[in-house]
Amino acid sequence: MMKHPFVRSPGMSSVAAMVPTPTQPAEVTSTGDLVFEELYRESRDDVFAYVAGLLRDRSAAEEVTAQAFERAYRKRGQFRRARGSGRAWLFGIARNAALDELRRRSKLAPMPEAEQGSADPDPGEVAVRLCALRDAIATLNARERELVALKFFAGLSNAEIAQVIGVSETNAGSKLHRTIEKLRRHANEAA
Amino acid sequence: MRLRERELDPEVRRRLTAVDASLAGEPVDPELADLAAFATELRDDAPPVDPRFAAELDALVAEGFPTAQPDFGGPVKPPSNRARTRFASLHRRPLLPILAGATTIVIVAGVVAATQFHAGTGDFESGDSLLRKQLSEEPAPPGTADVTESLRRLDAKRGSDKAIVEASATSDAAARVNRPHTAKDRRFEQQAASLTLSADPAQVQDVSGEVRDVAERYDGFVQDSAVSVNGDRARASFSLLVPAANLQAAILDLSDLANVTASDFNTDDVTGSYATAGKRLSAARAEVQKLLRKLEDASSVSEAASLRQQLQIARGELASARGGLRDVKQSVNYAPISLTITGSGDGDGWSIGDAAKDAVDVLEAVGGAILIALAVLVPVGLVGGVIWLAGTRLVRRRRESVLDQD
């Protein structure tokens, strides 16, 4: 089940209830320290979805996700609230790990074909639509695919995306809009 | 300077807002219903997490990522990853501030030591050693007496071997000055010195007596003196006149009577005045001789009377010129010493005033050291910052280059 931050699962909502104060971000205590466990619970599925969307390889995504959380765990003392949200910080670490993996794989062997979500697509209209969507995603370049993964798979806000990829929020919004339009166009053509 | 960024196109902003609203499950403008549906379709197609992987990762987090990790069945993890991670966390620790602090302390300590330590001699500066330095730098006048002997006496009393070596060097310098001068290169200098000593109030009287002894020892004399003692405060002042040749030796002996708190030496070249006075005397003599010869050859009583009158004026001028030359010679041959002895209870002890003065000296030295340290560290920090920034950008660019390979 997809656990999008905008629509939390029951399990996640119980974690959200542990937030110290209503105005405080979930991953930060009143003193500004990072509460790693809460950040992990809120972001585990999102990080995996983003990494898997970028790498298009579930096994590699699992490895990279684990690496990213371990790095974040080791560096949790370096987190500074003033530099951005805990999620943006975490996704920055995950992005570096994913890009390192992509670079390593590009030197070793050709990228594997994009994995399909299910082996036997349903014959119904939804399944056809899903296939068209995946085909359309496959036509995107890596930068565009990353934007889709950050926005729709990981559920980051435009400001957080801007922080993760190192551009301004306006720039991130423009890029995202162009990517969505391109994706819609390809999806409609494929359908 | 960063350029001001363009605003998002209103239509683009409206569509992005619709996307966000649809992802949040909020109502969307019907006109953008297709876009909203597309966004939710994308969101629902996010790769789900395998429950087995999720459970294993949960366990790792709960245990705080122990050293050995389970195999997730994915690609082989680079063996250097853990070491790299540890190294990264190590080099990101605040080593730079620690190193900067240590460097600053070393520089401060070095400058303070250099300020206090007399370079080359290994002897800490004191009033006496400063005085000795001043004296050794003073050019000795013609006919300087044996300064070495005085220095030796002072050093024997203080027991300083190094100072004896220094005295020998000064002796050499004096010997060089004492070599015979030719008429052309002979210079005449007027010297004067002032000295302030600090002594215990009870000792001011005794020290004053010793001042007279020193003046007599060097063929000088006390022109005038005043000694006053009032309870725990005492003060004495002397005007001495000593042969210029004995000035340095006399000053050294005087400085040995109590603590030197101030000293001042002045030397004026009066060669010009000396020559002028000599010429004036010669001219006056010649005039007198000339008038005498004329008087001998006078042919009338009235002429002789007139010459006698001129001769009287010329003799007056000769006496005046002789007196002028004598004054110049005396100012060259004898040097005045203005000596003050203060006794305010802080003569040989270490008072609050001394402490305050020392504190100011230390603060000055520390301030100077900090300034020097900043002059070194700021440029180094700036260069380091630029290198770090360039390195960070380079690493990021290399990482992201893989995104452009599709």
> Which residues lie closer than 8 Å to B132 by C-beta, 6 or more apart?
B151, B163, B166, B252
Q: Is B71 on the interface with A (CB under 8 A)?
A: no
Query: Chain B contact for A9, CB < 8 A?
Result: no
Task: Read off the pLDDT of each residue in B352-363 and give the average, rounded to a whole number.
Answer: 89
Interface with chain B: mutation pick from A90, A108, A131, A170, highest number of B CBs within 10 Å: A170
CATH topology of domain A10-190: Rna Polymerase Sigma Factor; Chain: A (1.10.1740)
- B72 and A66 within 8 Å at the Cβ level: the answer is yes
Contacts of B78 (CB under 8 A, 6+ apart): A104
Mark yes or no for CB contact B64/A73 under 8 Å: yes
> Residue B76: what residue type?
V
What per-residue confidence (pLDDT) applies to B206?
A: 87
Minimal Cβ distance to A106: which of B19, B24, B405: B405
Give yes or no for residue A138 having a pLDDT over 60.
yes
**Rounded-to-integer distance, Cα A45 and Cα A49, Å:** 6
pLDDT of residue B404: 82
Give me the residue label for tokens 């006078």. B298
Q: Do B23 and A155 touch (CB under 8 A)?
A: yes
Q: Which two tokens stand for residue A155?
A: 């559920």
Higher per-residue confidence, B92 vs B393: B393
Residue B117 in this model has a pLDDT that exceeds 60: no
φ, ψ (nearest 5 deg) of residue B342: -110, 140
Q: Rounded to whole angstroms, how far apart are CA atoms B147 and B136? A: 10
Residue A61's closest chain B neighbor by CA?
A: B74
**What pairs with residue B242 in β-bridges?**
B335
Domain boundaries, given as residue ranges, for chain B: 1-45, 118-177+185-349
Q: In terms of Cα–Cα distance, which of A68, A71, A93, A97 is closest to B86?
A: A71
CB burial readout A101-122, b (16+ within 10 A) else e: bbbebeeeeeeeeeeeeeeeee
Asked if residue B186 has pLDDT above 80, the reply is: no
User: In chain A, which residues have their Cβ closer than 8 Å to the Cβ of B402?
Assistant: 99, 102-103, 106, 142
d(CA A112, CA A132): 20
Mention every residue, 6+ apart, whose C-beta is less than 8 A from residue B181: B142, B187
Structure tokens at B154: 């002072």
Mean pLDDT of chain A: 77
Section B6-24 average pLDDT: 89
Kindly state the tokens that stand for B31: 């006109």
CA distance B243 to B221: 10
DSSP track, chain A: ---BTTB--HHHHHHHTT-SSTTS-TTB-TTS-B-HHHHHHHHHHHHHHHHHHHH--HHHHHHHHHHHHHHHHHTGGG--GGG--HHHHHHHHHHHHHHHHHHHHHHHSPPPPPPPSSSS--SSHHHHHHHHHHHHHHHS-HHHHHHHIIIIIS---HHHHHHHHTS-HHHHHHHHHHHHHHHHHHHHHH-
In this complex, do B406 and A142 lie within 8 Å of one another by their Cβ atoms? yes
Express each pLDDT in A2-13 by its tens digit: 333 333 333 333
Residue in A2, A59, A106 nearest the CB of B402? A106
Q: Which distant-in-sequence residues (6+ apart) come within 8 Å of A168 by Cβ? A: A162, B5
- C-beta separation of B44 from A130 below 8 A: no
> What pLDDT does residue B108 have?
67
pLDDT at position A4:
37
Instruction: Give residues with Cβ within 8 angstroms of B31, minimum separation 6.
Output: none
- B399 φψ region: left (φ > 0), alpha (ψ -120 to 50), beta (else): alpha
Of residues B142 and A175, more confidence is placed in A175
* pLDDT value at residue B261: 86
Supply the pLDDT for residue B134: 57
Tokens representing A186 are: 């390809």
CA atoms within 13 A on the CB side of B172: 5
Of B85-99, B300-314, B343-357, highest mean pLDDT: B300-314
Work out the number of other CB atoms within 10 angstroms of the CB of residue B219.
14
More confident of the two residues A176 and B182:
A176
Contact check, Cβ <8 Å, A117/B75: no
pTM over 0.80: no
| Interface test with chain B among A180, A181, A182, A188, by most B beta carbons within 10 Å | A180
H helices present in B33-94, as ranges: 33-44, 51-63, 80-91
CA distance B254 to B196: 10
Q: Tell me the average pLDDT across A47-61.
A: 92
Q: Which residue of A has its CA nearest to B400?
A: A99
Mean pLDDT score, A155-162:
92
CB contacts < 8 A, A to B, total: 164
ipTM for the assembly:
0.75
B77-94 burial, b at 16+ Cβ within 10 Å, e below that, comes to beeeebeebeeeeeeeee
| Strand, helix or coil for residue B233 | strand
B133 or B119: which leads in pLDDT? B133
CA distance linking residue B327 with residue B191, whole number of Å: 14
Secondary structure of residue B6 in the 3-state scheme? coil
